[in-house]
Amino acid sequence: MTLTLDLAEKVVRAGREHASTLGVAACLVVCDAAGHLKAFGRMDRAWLGAIDVALRKAKTSVLFEAETQLIWEVSRPDAQAHGLESSNGGLITFGGGIPLRTAAGELLGAVGVSGGQVAQDYAIAQAAIKALGLP
């Protein structure tokens, strides 16, 4: 399985639909396994600053093959990799970035969402991934 433009756009579309049900105007990004932009959507009224945050969430998730909030566990001030969030041009270490994986666990890319509260961004990202039937 590869992350095609059609699949990436399906992720963005599903995320937008879920964001609408929450009343959130979000930015949604899908990056490929190398961290390059594959698909993007900025909903009407979404903050301009959310564009970069969504992209960084997706990139962080790809670079470390983990959900973004899990990166916080190793980069917080009292953890072993304090300051990690300053690497790679700036990482995002709160919820809203989730890897896209095949059923076999192969990394396809990641989705990043920004525009709502952290829990809302995470829920939107989960809904976006669920649309593909991926783990």
Q: Enumerate domains of the chain plus CATH numbers.
A: 5-130 (3.30.450.150)
Q: What is the pLDDT of residue 127?
A: 96
Q: pLDDT tens digit string along 75-86?
A: 999 999 998 989
Query: DSSP alpha helices (H): ranges in the chain?
Result: 5-22, 49-64, 68-75, 118-130
Q: What is the pLDDT of residue 22?
A: 98
At 118, list the tokens.
């952290």
Q: For tokens 């970069």, what's the residue? A: 52
Question: ∠117-73-63 over CA atoms, to 5°?
Answer: 85
pLDDT tops 80 at residue 135:
no
pLDDT tops 80 at residue 71:
yes
Please state the rounded mean pLDDT for residues 79-103: 93
pLDDT tops 90 at residue 1:
no
Q: pLDDT tens digit string along 34-65?
A: 999 999 999 999 999 999 999 999 999 999 99
| Distance from C-alpha of 13 to C-alpha of 112, rounded to nearest angstrom | 13
Q: What is the pLDDT of residue 87?
A: 92
Q: What is the pLDDT of residue 131?
A: 86
